[in-house]
Amino acid sequence: MATDEVRAISDQLAADPSSIAFLPLGEALRRRGQLDVAWKVAQRGAERHPQRPDAHDLLARIAIDRGEPSRAQSEWEAVLRLAPGHAAAQKGLGFLRFQQGDFAGAAELLGAALLADPDDQSLAAALGTLRAAVDESAVAAAPPGASDAHAVTDARALFDEILGDQPQTALLIDRDGYVVAGQYRTADGRDLGADLAAQLSGVSDEAERAVEYLKLGAWKQIVFESEAASLAMAPSGEGVLLVATPRSVPLGFVRRLLERSVARAQRWLETGT
Amino acid sequence: MTSPFTAVLGSLIRHRGVSGCLVVGERDGMIVEANLQIGVKGDAIAALSASLYRKARRSALAAGFGEAGFFELTADGGRVCAVGRNELVLVVIGEPGVNVGIIRVEMLRALELFQ
Amino acid sequence: MRLTVAASWVEGPLRQLVADARLELGVLLHPSGQVLGQFGFARSVDVMTACALAAATHASSAELGRMLEGQPFTGVHYVGATRQFWRATVPTTSTPLILFAVFDEESSLGLVQLFFRQFCEAVAALAPAADAEPAALAENFESELNRNLAVMFGRA
């Protein structure tokens, strides 16, 4: 939505606060990433129209973007109380259950949503992913159960959204050099994240010793170029976050990628989402 | 007395925010030549930054990324930049706000002296 | 790394040095050969050998220094194929001590010298005064050495 249209809807809402213009306005702001403003608009609208399921659905989607899954869950549950069988709410709750490792609950909700909206390709794809995850946890058959198997799958994909389809890597490494999240896939599909973490995690120990003795304060970032890759690392939690990109990627962009990955890891460590 | 490194060290130290620049042996961490502001501990910078650069270089090699080029450490109180070749490391230390872009270019150009 | 000491004041500075300088093994000893601390050794017989050799090379290089420059040489660095050693005098308010340290490519001479200076400062601050500890006498050197080794390897 163009800025002029946003302004027009905003003006309309200002002229008539009881209108339902808050719905397209909140959605437009959400898509632009103006989450705090979007939340205020949607919340005010939901207060005026508490019986509208789409008002609560909008609040839930903004809450997801804000990294607040429990608030999103309660809003979608409110939608289903008002409109049982609401496909978007079932879909949203299904994804939340999936993230919580409740595969059976997720399958039930996503299946119901697909029945309500058979043309929704994202639902069909989600059900496919869900079945794959269930299969993977069954193959692993590890004692901790399906929930742990899900956590591993989720952790490996933690940085996928930031990295996109480019051949670049982000790994969250603990203080012992073990991979906590992320992966390093080779062209033939092998995950060499553990090898990479083991080789590069020692650099941060050297950095800590150097800054301590040289009285430079805490180290914030290391960037170095090699023949094949540009590498960047920063402290994250009790470990280190490592980003590797092809050498052709500009160093400034590598640093931005690192900063975004650190923020993503921090959110994941703090909220689990 | 001047060495092949004197001119490049003299040029690097003139950049705003740079407090020291050194040519260091990568294996022994000892100073080959340095241009330092008063009060800067050259031997400590030499030993620690050569060790840091060597660790990064060897880690990158072991991880299959090939030989290391430019290295930069950013800390709350300063930056350390390094490039190396043939067991010598050129190190620049400075304030956090130092213009790393221009220093990186100059350091990479100076590597020709390390043949 | 396993680090043991015969005198408790040695432990802090020695542990710090080993960690900071990434040392592999070594001993801190009195010039008479009496061991004060060791790290990285597995057998007491190896400590005994290292102490005897370090004390002997210290005495010979000190004498060479006196002959050549009128004062003893205080440090020796040797570079092997994969390992290097650093042997240096640690000044105290009484008899200087000797540090013999072995390191590999994880460390460097520059790092060892850098953290050795810190170690010397810590030792100077913590070492007991000259009259607080009786110096090891030549006649009881062997029994002192054995007693210290027994303390460090848990057989006292």
Render pLDDT for A123-164 as a digit per residue (tens, 0 to 9): 666 666 666 555 555 444 444 444 444 444 568 889 988 888
Name A245's bridge partners. Answer: A230
Identify the H or E element spanning B70. strand B68-75
Distance CA A185, CA A68 (A): 30
> Is B1 contained in some domain?
no
**Which residue in B70, B72, B55 sits closest to B108, CA to CA?**
B70
> Is B33 contained in some domain?
yes
The token pair that represents A42 in the structure block:
């949607």
Computed over every residue of chain B, the mean pLDDT equals 93
Helix (H, G, I), strand (E, B) or coil at A241: strand
pLDDT digits (tens, 9 = 90+) for A87-104: 888 888 887 877 676 777
Please report the DSSP string for chain C in residue order.
--EEESSHHHHHHHHHHHHHHT--EEEEE-TTS-EEEEES-S-HHHHHHHHHHHHHHHHHHHHHHHHHHSS---EEEEE-SS-EEEEEEE--SSS-EEEEEEE-TTS-HHHHHHHHHHHHHHHHHHSPPTTTSPPPPGGGHHHHHHHHHHHHTT--
Alpha carbon A216 to chain centroid, angstroms: 34
The token pair that represents A72 in the structure block:
């999103």
> Is C135 contained in some domain?
no
The token pair that represents A234 in the structure block:
């920063």
Distance CA C91, CA C113 (A): 14
By Cβ distance, the residue of A209, A220, A231 closest to B75 is A220
Hey, are the CB atoms on A221 and B73 less than 8 Å from each other?
A: yes
User: Quick one: residue A98, left, alpha or beta (phi over 0 = left, psi -120 to 50 = alpha)?
Assistant: alpha
**Which residue in A57, A50, A44 sits closest to A17, CA to CA?**
A44
- Residue B39 contacts A, CB cutoff 8 Å: no
- Return the pLDDT at A64: 81
Query: So what's the ipTM on this one?
Result: 0.93
Mean pLDDT of C33-46: 88
- Return the pLDDT at A106: 78
- Return the pLDDT at C127: 83
- Residue C118 contacts B, CB cutoff 8 Å: no
- Residue B111 contacts A, CB cutoff 8 Å: no
pLDDT digits (tens, 9 = 90+) for B46-78: 999 999 999 999 988 888 888 889 999 999 999
Identify the H or E element spanning A229. strand A229-236
Q: How many beta-carbon pairs under 8 angstroms link B with C?
A: 33
CATH of residue B102: 3.30.450.30
Distance CA C102, CA A154 (A): 46
Q: What is the DSSP letter of A191?
A: B
Distance CA A99, CA A146 (A): 11
The token pair that represents B33 in the structure block:
């030549």
- Report domain extents, chain A: 3-133, 153-271
By Cβ distance, the residue of B44, B60, B93 closest to A231 is B60
Residue with the bigger pLDDT between C46 and A189: it is C46
> Which chains form contacts with chain B, at 3 or more CB pairs under 8 Å?
A, C
Topology given in CATH for the domain delimited by A153-271: Beta-Lactamase (3.30.450)
- Return the pLDDT at C144: 62
Residues C150 and C156: beta-carbon distance below 8 Å: yes
- Return the pLDDT at C65: 92
- Return the pLDDT at A19: 86
Q: What is the DSSP letter of B113?
A: G
Hey, are the CB atoms on B63 and A221 less than 8 Å from each other?
A: no
> Is C153 contained in some domain?
no
Count structural domains, chain C.
Answer: 1
- CA A107, A112, A113, A117 dihedral sign is positive
Q: What is the DSSP letter of A228?
A: S
Max CA separation in chain C (angstroms): 44
b (16+ CB within 10 A) / e for A63-102? bbeebbbebbbebbebbbebbeebbbbbbbbbbbbbebbb
Assess whether pLDDT exceeds 90 at residue C136: no
Mean pLDDT of A237-245: 91
By Cβ distance, the residue of A203, A218, A226 closest to B75 is A218
- Residue A84 contacts B, CB cutoff 8 Å: no
| Ordered strands of the B78-85 beta sheet | A179-183, A169-173, A239-246, A229-236, A219-226, B68-75, B78-85, B88-94, B18-25, B31-36
Assess whether pLDDT exceeds 70 at residue C138: no
Can you list the alpha helix ranges (DSSP code H) found in A164-201? 193-200
- Residue C111 contacts B, CB cutoff 8 Å: yes
> Is C139 contained in some domain?
no
> Is C152 contained in some domain?
no
> B24 contacts in C (CB within 8 Å)?
110
Residues A82 and A111: beta-carbon distance below 8 Å: no
Identify the CATH assignment for A3-133 out of 1.10.10.10, 1.10.10.60, 1.25.40.10, 3.40.50.720: 1.25.40.10
Residue with the bigger pLDDT between A109 and A243: it is A243
Assess whether pLDDT exceeds 70 at residue A61: yes
Assess whether pLDDT exceeds 70 at residue A44: yes
Which domain does B52 fall in, by range?
6-114
**Which residue in A155, A112, A93, A104 sits closest to A130, CA to CA?**
A104
CATH of residue C77: 3.30.450.30
Alpha carbon A167 to chain centroid, angstroms: 19
Which domain does C70 fall in, by range?
3-129
Distance CA A202, CA B52 (A): 10
Report the DSSP pairing between strands A169-173 and A179-183.
antiparallel
Count structural domains, chain B.
Answer: 1
- CA distance to partner chain C, nearest, from residue B49 (Å): 10
